[in-house]
A and B are shown apart, each in its own frame.
Chain A
Amino acid sequence: MTRPAEIEVLRAGALTTVQDLGRPGWAHLGVPRSGALDPAALRLANRLVGNPEHAAGLEITLTGCALRLTRATTVAVTGADVTVRAGDRPGDTGRPLTVPAGTVLRIGPARRGVRSWLAVAGGIDVPAVLGSRATDTLSGLGPSPLRDGDRLPLGEPFGEPAPVDLTVGPAPPPELRLRLHPGPRDDWFTPTAFDRLLGSAYTVSPLSNRVGARLAGAPLPRAVAGELPSEGIVLGAVQVPADGQPLIFLADHPTTGGYPVIGVVTDVTPLAQARPGTTVRFHGPER
């Protein structure tokens, strides 16, 4: 039997994790959903290399990474604006790239945006935990974030790469406009709080991560004092802790929380590319 193909991690970068579409369905046991922060971008990368959309790839953060594949294979990178090089040969994001065995694949630092998704034909074949190979940075389920020198097994290729020349992803806008549904606990806040949330600009704080995007801006005053008994949390929930600064929950969010949720953002995927300092504005569901 031949040795299974692997990815060797030469430079892991700031935060590179294995991600797929996560492990929904276990929240009642306290298991976060996890998975790629922009599932559509990972699905696209997988389609480009001929993988099923749920195959595991890498989520690469800000500083890029360098990898060597022990088998000639097809890869695709989606998400942030980055350089892709296979050895001396420049590649593009959003299209399949053939990488010879032993060649170093370099994903450069993000010029715009934050996160990229790398799909490799065959997918990353680490053992699934509760149906998913995703790294959950909150609970620690799934493989640890990559470190220099790690080796990850690759699966057998599923089929031919997509017959596509180039897909163009939209550049991240300088300002995010997020659609917000009020509730479930908007009644825990003063009417001023909701007006402020919709009427003012917030900025993404450097403390943001895969658990949540922390925002800084006009504080949201509470009408009801005291603690909220723990209750279930959804992706995109805008939780307001004691300091009044909103936090939007992303893929690694806890399953329950004790701070009131003033509203829920319909689509959190633009936040995957929001650098610290990015302006965020909210609008109601009617617009």
Chain B
Amino acid sequence: MRIRPVGAHALLLDCTTRADVPAATLVEAWRAELWRRREQGELNAVEIVPAATTVLLDGLPDPAATAEMLAGWAPTVTNDTGGAASRASGPDRAEVLVPVEFDGPDLPAVAEYWQTDVADVPRRLTGTRFRVAFCGFAPGFPYLTGLPAELALPRLATPRPRVPAGSVALAGPYAGIYPGASPGGWLLVGRTDLVLFDVHADPPTRLGPGTPVRLVAA
């Protein structure tokens, strides 16, 4: 783990530094560790934001002191090659089932990239144990990891001007779900009626970072 400076009040933990642990696994381990430390009052940070290969700590009163503390902390890493729900998420994180109607317009394109038939795409997706790696792009948009690296997909060359809310989509190594209608360049494989982001709910999403997720045929 390498600590990169970010202005006067933040630090970025770069999790690409260990050859034996995939970055996404190390990110999840650090996220869980830092959230736990903050909960226990050992860490004062306004934001702890996991992403693809990094964890951002923002709103730190004294980043240099935090960097020193971080050097002495070692999160529990379960080397799960990025797939299964990591033990670092804690045993209490219940798996969220997302019912999906697999009728997306890009199913044939995905099948072609994966060199399989269209019916096999939902089979592979429902057979994958996903985990929310991080949220971004829009409030409550989850980036789900768990697909094998060889199934990574490109984005559309031209993004669609409007992707409907609830669209289940694939891009790069991730699956994602659009919480609201927006422009989007991911390949659409289906849609869900699950409400992903509700500002009146506490928390506003059930699919926060670290949550194990399964896609199930609706």
Q: Would A28 and B7 count as touching, CB distance under 8 A?
A: no
Report the minimal beta-carbon distance from B70 to chain A, rounded to whole angstroms.
Answer: 15
Mark interface residues in A215-245 (1 if CB within 8 Å of B CB, else 0): 0000000000000011111101100000000
Contact check: which of A25, A28, A256, A266 meets B208 at CB < 8 Å?
A28
Segment touching A, from B81-89, B95-103, B122-130, B133-141: B133-141
Q: Bound state CA distance, A238 and B67, in angstroms?
A: 22
Residues of B within 8 A of A266 (CB): 7-8
Tally of B interface residues using CB under 8 Å: 40
Q: Is the CB of B199 within 8 A of A30?
A: no
Once bound together, how far apart are the Cα atoms of A127 and B20, in whole Å? 49
Task: Given A231-B54, A232-B12, A232-B49, decide whether A139 and B6 contact each other with a Cβ distance below 8 A.
Answer: no
Decide: B199 and A230 in contact? CB cutoff 8 A.
Answer: no
In the complex, the chain A residue whose C-beta lies closest to that of B58 is A234
Residues 1-49 of B at the A interface (beta carbon under 8 Å): 4-10, 12, 14, 23, 46-49
Residue B59 at the A interface, CB < 8 A? yes
A126 at the interface (CB under 8 A from B): no
The smallest C-beta distance from B143 to any residue of chain A, in angstroms, reads 8
- List A residues 118-170 near B (Cβ within 8 Å): 129-130, 139-141
Q: Which of B9, B14, B134 contacts A256 (CB 8 A)?
A: B134
**In the complex, which residue of chain B has the Cβ closest to the Cβ of A138?**
B138
Q: Is B139 in contact with A31, judged by CB distance below 8 angstroms?
A: yes
A139 vs B179: C-alpha distance in the bound complex, in angstroms?
Answer: 11
Question: A227 — nearest CB in chain B belongs to which residue?
Answer: B172
Task: State whether the Cβ of A255 lies closer than 8 Å to any Cβ in chain B.
Answer: yes
B205 lies within 8 A of chain A by Cβ: yes
Contact at A230–B52, with CB atoms within 8 Å? yes
Complex formed: what's the CA distance from A265 to B6 in Å? 10
Contact A30 B140 (CB under 8 A): yes
Which residues A243-287 have CB closer than 8 A to chain B? 254-256, 261, 264-266, 285
The answer to whether A139 touches B49, judged by C-beta atoms less than 8 angstroms apart, is no
- Interface membership of A183, Cβ < 8 A: yes
Contact B12 A256 (CB under 8 A): no
Output the nearest chain B residue to A30 by Cβ-Cβ distance. Answer: B135
Given that A28-B209, A130-B199, A234-B56 are known contacts, is A184 also in contact with B47, CB under 8 Å in the complex? Answer: no
Asked whether A256 lies within 8 Å of B139 as measured between CB atoms, the reply is no
User: 8 Å CB contacts to B: which residues of A20-42?
Assistant: 24-31
Tell me which residues across on chain B come within 8 A of A181, comparing CB atoms. Answer: 5-8
> B139 is contacted by which of A139, A182, A184, A261 (Cβ under 8 Å)?
A139
The residues of B that contact A185 with a CB separation of less than 8 Å are: 4
User: Please, which residues of chain A bring their CB within 8 A of the CB of B105?
Assistant: none
Residues of B near A183 (CB, < 8 A) are: 4-6, 12
Contact A28-B135, Cβ < 8 Å, known A181-B5, A232-B54, A234-B6 = yes
Partner of B199, one of A141, A261, A265: A141
B53 located at the interface, meaning its Cβ lies under 8 Å from any Cβ of chain A in the complex: yes
Contact of B136 among A24, A141, A237, A255 (CB under 8 A): A255
Q: Is B204 an interface residue (CB 8 A)?
A: yes
17 A-B residue pairings within 8 Å (CB atoms): A24-B47, A24-B59, A28-B49, A28-B135, A28-B208, A28-B209, A130-B199, A130-B204, A139-B139, A181-B8, A184-B5, A229-B53, A231-B56, A254-B137, A255-B136, A264-B7, A266-B8
Residues of A within 8 A of B (CB): 24-31, 129-130, 139-141, 181-185, 229-234, 236-237, 254-256, 261, 264-266, 285
